[in-house]
Amino acid sequence: MVRYEVTIFHRILDILLLVCAWSIVLGIFLTASQHFNIQNNSTQVRVLLRSPQDKADNRSGVNKVSQDARIVRNSKLPNCLIIGFSKCGTLALRGFLSLHTDIVSPQREIRYFNVFYKRGLQWYRNQMPPSSEGQITLEKTPSYIMSAEALKRIYQFNSSIRLIIIVRDPITRLQSLHAHMFQGMPKSSKVPSFREWCGGRARTARVVRVADYAHPVGNVFKLFPRHQVLVLSEESLEQNPLRVMREAERFLGLKSSISKTDFVYNEPKGFYCFNTSSRKYPKIVKSVVLNEKTGCLGSGKGRKHPDIDNSLLKELVDIIRPYNERLFSMIGKRFKWKNFEAM
Ligand SMILES: *[C@@H]1O[C@H](CO)[C@@H](O)[C@H](O)[C@H]1NC(C)=O
Ligand SMILES: *[C@@H]1O[C@H](CO)[C@@H](O)[C@H](O)[C@H]1NC(C)=O
Ligand SMILES: *[C@@H]1O[C@H](CO)[C@@H](O)[C@H](O)[C@H]1NC(C)=O
Ligand SMILES: *[C@@H]1O[C@H](CO)[C@@H](O)[C@H](O)[C@H]1NC(C)=O
């Protein structure tokens, strides 16, 4: 009986020893893998610091801060935003502005102030391309202007930030939106006519929402002083990009660096594209998605617009004209919009 109990005692001791041994092995393994992780991370840091820009900075003696601070310093939060309007040539505007040597801009719409605000400023900064001291970081998200809350957040972010807004003939914008919504639908599917889509008549919530620039622009002016806001028109940008670029350069306090030879008029498309032989072209290719052969923006631009019958057009003009007038008196300039000139 006694002997039997001793055997059981030994068994328990054996098991305990085994458990101890395994814990030690597991501990060593975990420590080692952590160590491996740290090494991995520092490798990443080293790789990041080896970009050409860093080498250039190192040569010029800028590299005097810690490694972590250096990575952050490379991109800056925006000091200019294109906040609206969708379907009004914001992409072309950002593309043409990116020709300027003192402007950098991320390729995507970041949607920080209206969609990804919870991700925080550090995340927002990380979306920005690297820039050097005097350069302006420009971000474009055309939906900012439609959110009063986003505008307030922008004001809290930096009340002296500069804002650019681009508008176009509101009836053309309606047509462009219709073309955008039903692009690439198979012939068999039922695409509503422009009239049906508008709601059968001119004064519908959809028409007013798309055509009334004055209301959202008014929200901007409630917060920001006029001299911080530049309002441009898609029509001028299309007809004379250089003149619009001069206006934007003055607004941003930049010396002019965009020139006539940076654009080429593309006859078949009927609008200006980037000059693929310009020495600024490599910078543009990094900043905007375009057809690298022609230097023109993607197939989305210049889509065929739906026809509008004359009676609907006349109704739309009558309803929308007062909104236009409100906008013009608010911004202190007028735009020539062909749908409103004829009648
Ligand atoms: C290593 O990097 C990963 C992701 O990049 C991060 O989640 C982790 O916390 C880092 N580990 C250390 C020890 O810094
Ligand atoms: C930075 O420059 C110093 C000499 O000024 C050099 O020793 C060092 O290797 C350089 N670092 C990098 C990352 O190029
Ligand atoms: C706010 O924007 C202005 C104009 O771009 C800039 O001069 C200023 O440094 C910015 N302020 C902050 C806190 O980023
Ligand atoms: C395009 O750029 C090249 C190189 O700068 C220039 O020689 C040419 O005249 C430009 N084309 C146009 C149409 O401006």
Centre of ligand 1 from the C-alpha of residue 46, in Å:
14
Give the three-class secondary structure for 209. helix
Q: Between 28 and 134, where is the model more confident?
A: 134
Nearest CA to ligand 1 atom 13: 38
Among residues 143, 139, 132, which one has the least CA distance to residue 162? Answer: 139
% residues pLDDT > 70 (the chain): 83
Q: How confident is the model at residue 16 (pLDDT cuts 50, 70, 90)?
A: confident
pLDDT at 185 over 70: yes
Nearest CA to ligand 2 atom 3: 58
Q: How confident is the model at residue 42 (pLDDT cuts 50, 70, 90)?
A: very low
Q: What is the pLDDT of residues 270-282, one digit of tens each?
A: 889 999 999 999 9
Give the three-class secondary structure for 55. helix
Q: What is the CA radius of gyration of the chain?
A: 29
User: 304 among the known binding-site residues?
Assistant: yes
Residue-level pLDDT at 303: 73
Q: How confident is the model at residue 2 (pLDDT cuts 50, 70, 90)?
A: low
Q: Which domains does the chain have, with CATH numbers?
A: 78-183+192-341 (3.40.50.300)
Cα dihedral 32, 34, 40, 43 in deg (nearest 10): -90
Q: Between 276 and 16, where is the model more confident?
A: 276
pLDDT at 190 over 60: yes
Classify residue 143 by its DSSP letter. Answer: T
How far apart, in whole angstroms, are the C-alpha atoms of residue 183 and residue 298? 14
Q: Between 214 and 42, where is the model more confident?
A: 214
> Pocket around ligand 1: residues whose beta carbon is below 6 Å from it?
37-38, 41
Give the pairing type, strands 290-291 and 296-297.
Answer: antiparallel
Centre of ligand 1 from the C-alpha of residue 43, in Å:
11
How far apart, in whole angstroms, are the C-alpha atoms of residue 274 and residue 266? 9
Contact (Cβ atoms closer than 8 angstroms) between residue 63 and residue 70: yes
Residue-level pLDDT at 299: 61
Say if ligand 2 is within 6 A of residue 62 CB.
no
How far apart, in whole angstroms, are the C-alpha atoms of residue 99 and residue 286? 11
The residue whose two tokens read 């804002």 is 163
How far apart, in whole angstroms, are the C-alpha atoms of residue 112 and residue 91? 17
How far apart, in whole angstroms, are the C-alpha atoms of residue 23 and residue 298? 60
Mean pLDDT of 45-60: 45
> What is Dmax (Cα atoms) for the chain?
115
Which range, of 20-24, 186-190, 243-247, averages the lowest pLDDT?
Answer: 186-190
% residues pLDDT > 90 (the chain): 59
**What's the whole-number average pLDDT of the chain?**
85
How far, in whole angstroms, is CA 240 from its chain's centroid?
Answer: 23
Residue-level pLDDT at 14: 86
By annotation, the residues acting in catalysis are: 87
Give the three-class secondary structure for 103. strand
Residue-level pLDDT at 36: 47
How far apart, in whole angstroms, are the C-alpha atoms of residue 307 and residue 213? 23
Output the pTM of the full model: 0.74
Contact (Cβ atoms closer than 8 angstroms) between residue 232 and residue 166: yes
How far apart, in whole angstroms, are the C-alpha atoms of residue 277 and residue 207? 42
Q: Between 143 and 271, where is the model more confident?
A: 143
pLDDT at 35 over 80: no
Among residues 296, 282, 297, which one has the least CA distance to residue 101? Answer: 282
How far apart, in whole angstroms, are the C-alpha atoms of residue 246 and residue 227? 16
Give the three-class secondary structure for 296. strand
Q: What is the pLDDT of residues 285-343, one digit of tens each?
A: 888 888 888 899 876 666 788 889 999 999 999 999 999 999 999 999 999 999 998 65
Contact (Cβ atoms closer than 8 angstroms) between residue 89 and residue 170: no
Q: How confident is the model at residue 26 (pLDDT cuts 50, 70, 90)?
A: confident
Q: How confident is the model at residue 260 (pLDDT cuts 50, 70, 90)?
A: very high
Q: Between 297 and 216, where is the model more confident?
A: 216
User: Nearest ligand, CA of residue 42?
Assistant: 1
Q: How confident is the model at residue 89 (pLDDT cuts 50, 70, 90)?
A: very high
Which range, of 95-99, 181-185, 213-217, averages the lowest pLDDT?
Answer: 181-185
Cite the DSSP H helix spans in 74-193: 90-97, 120-126, 148-157, 170-181
Contact (Cβ atoms closer than 8 angstroms) between residue 227 and residue 164: no
